[in-house]
Chains A and B, each alone.
Chain A
Amino acid sequence: KAGVTQTPRYLIKTRGQQVTLSCSPISGHRSVSWYQQTPGQGLQFLFEYFSETQRNKGNFPGRFSGRQFSNSRSEMNVSTLELGDSALYLCASSLEGRPTDTQYFGPGTRLTVL
């Protein structure tokens, strides 16, 4: 099986722009979670999608949003980018998002905001 894929791998944007990141889960996985990883804050949970519905959300401003399509692929969007949004954005997929389900991570998208 192909692993979790994320596109693009690298992205450079300027303040005020918006960005869309994509995540394709492992075939058969219906849950996709997104995380932000920074040197200062570490790994922080953004949100989780299951069957096209946001099931859980972390403590991030409304500029961060996401969605999931019927094929379980997910996108996250960040509007009005700020310098502090520079981070590695990881997505992880699992069968159904239960705590007993192993999460498989993608390679991440490195976002740099100038």
Chain B
Amino acid sequence: AQTVTQSQPEMSVQEAETVTLSCTYDTSESDYYLFWYKQPPSRQMILVIRQEAYKQQNATENRFSVNFQKAAKSFSLKISDSQLGDAAMYFCAYRSAHNDMRFGAGTRLTVKP
């Protein structure tokens, strides 16, 4: 079964600094998609970034980038120049063509001014 593991329940970062959130997953499939979702205190989940497993190039979206290591089944999220508005729960998620979305337990990110 596909599982997603986020080993950091909580992380904190100073405003304007960089932070990396970790995610590992377990799968036997070769074609799948990985996501990072953000859930601010208002509770509405927002997609931050996505990565297709067949793409070797790491995805980037402005201050957000990923380090995708397919062989290691690792998918970390780097947030550069952290802002107060980045404070939220971050969920790593996995989905293949044959399965529903599987989420990690989440990492609560605090941004200190």
Contact = CB atoms under 8 A, between A and B. Distances in A.
B95 A90 contact: no
B50 A102 contact: yes
A99 B97 CA distance: 6
Interface residues of B, number: 22
B55 to A, nearest CB: 12
Interface residues of A, number: 23
B44 A58 contact: no
A56 interface: yes
B103 A42 contact: yes
Interface of A: 3, 33, 35, 42-45, 48, 56, 58, 88, 90, 92, 98-100, 102-108
Interface of B: 32-33, 37, 42-47, 50, 52, 91, 95-97, 100-106
